[in-house]
């Protein structure tokens, strides 16, 4: 198993102690995109702009966020050459949720908190959907005693990563310019603003339901939050809805582990692997290394 990209020193940290506070840059970004989408979306609607929005939203989330940011950068479930890695991460930045360092921190802090005996509702997603979305779109969590985070030097010191982390919001400008040349303001509004806010809200909505009680055969021992699978949403969520599987086997590049669990992210990974562009593709660890897991039912069988 490859080492995680982020090391967390939580010696003095407590995931229950602290409170959500308004993150003003985050609130301005998401609030601005939401405002433009609500006002400009209807004003600049066209069927071509809608088609652009649907295709660009799906592909950027699939290739950039699910495959690049989540499965490659955060969980290290496969390796690639430098340029393939950078292309995948750049597409992930275009999604508009955060830069690479920001994605790592948000994901791994939440994952660390959820695997503790108890954590704040901000991480556990135990409030109502509207309250939780408000927190995730406009707030950050301010710890009384924050864990110390260290991103591995290969990533933290890479000039490319440092540049796009510092400029990730500005990376929408070349996209907007290209879309304006092709389709004018309707393409900019729907291909940038509507896409970004729908991607962000959609990401946190799936996260909310995946971390509340639901189907799934695996339990992570000692974890306060047990993830759920969301049947029927595999194609819509790029395979990310099989989150009970993912919490059990974060080292696996494939998240839809059972028959009928569609996983478009895995399809992309297989294509890249077949083309020789990626290698060392992770699989669920062997049964002898699953001491941290328990089956929810006695009749369930582990994945191959």
10-residue block means of pLDDT along the chain (304 residues)?
78 94 98 98 97 98 98 97 97 98 96 96 96 98 94 95 98 98 98 98 97 94 96 97 97 96 98 98 94 74 43
Q: Supply φ then ψ for residue 88, to 5 degrees.
A: -60, -45
| The pLDDT value given to residue 300 | 39
Residue 248 to residue 33: CA distance in whole angstroms: 35
DSSP 8-state code for residue 115: T
User: Comparing C-alpha atoms, which of 296, 302, 118, 123 is closest to residue 217?
Assistant: 296
H-helix segments, the chain: 24-43, 47-59, 82-94, 100-114, 121-124, 129-138, 153-156, 159-167, 172-188, 195-210, 243-248, 264-274
Q: Is 304 exposed, middle or buried (0-12, 13-18, 19+ CB in 10 A)?
A: exposed
Q: What angle do CA 92, 237, 235 make, to 5 degrees?
A: 120
Residue 184 to residue 49: CA distance in whole angstroms: 10
User: Comparing C-alpha atoms, which of 202, 193, 209, 303 is closest to residue 256?
Assistant: 303
Residue 266 to residue 229: CA distance in whole angstroms: 16
Residue 290 to residue 195: CA distance in whole angstroms: 39
Strand partners for 7: 150
3-state secondary structure of 238: coil
254 half-sphere exposure, CB direction, 13 A CA radius: 17
Q: What is the pTM of this model?
A: 0.94
Residue 134 to residue 36: CA distance in whole angstroms: 18
Residue 301 to residue 78: CA distance in whole angstroms: 25
């Amino acid at each position: 198993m490859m080492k995680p990209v982020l090391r967390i020193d939580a010696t003095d940290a407590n995931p229950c102690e602290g409170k959500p506070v308004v993150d003003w840059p985050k609130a301005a970004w998401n609030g601005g995109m939401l405002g433009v989408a609500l006002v400009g979306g209807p004003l600049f609607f066209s069927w071509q702009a809608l088609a652009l929005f649907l295709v660009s939203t799906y592909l950027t989330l699939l290739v950039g966020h699910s495959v690049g940011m989540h499965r490659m950068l955060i969980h290290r479930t496969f390796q690639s050459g430098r340029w393939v890695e950078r292309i995948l991460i750049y597409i992930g930045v275009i999604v508009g949720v955060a830069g690479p360092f920001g994605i790592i921190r948000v994901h791994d802090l939440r994952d660390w908190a959820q695997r503790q005996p108890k954590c704040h509702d901000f991480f556990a997603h135990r409030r109502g959907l509207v309250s939780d979305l408000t927190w995730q779109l406009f707030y950050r969590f301010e710890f009384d005693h924050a864990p110390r985070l260290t991103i591995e030097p290969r990533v933290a010191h890479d000039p490319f990563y440092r540049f796009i982390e510092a400029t990730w919001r500005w990376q929408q400008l070349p996209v907007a310019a290209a879309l304006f040349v092709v389709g004018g303001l309707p393409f900019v509004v729907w291909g940038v603003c509507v896409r970004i806010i729908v991607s962000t809200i959609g990401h946190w909505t799936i996260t909310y339901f995946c971390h509340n009680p639901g189907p799934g055969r695996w339990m992570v021992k000692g974890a306060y939050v047990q993830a759920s699978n969301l049947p029927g949403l595999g194609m819509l969520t790029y395979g990310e809805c099989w989150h009970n599987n993912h919490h059990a086997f974060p080292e696996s590049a494939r998240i839809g582990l059972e028959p009928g669990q569609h996983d478009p992210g895995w399809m992309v990974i297989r294509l890249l692997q077949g083309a020789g562009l990626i290698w060392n593709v992770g699989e669920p660890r062997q049964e002898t290394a699953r001491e941290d897991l328990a089956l929810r039912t006695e009749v369930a069988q582990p994945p191959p």
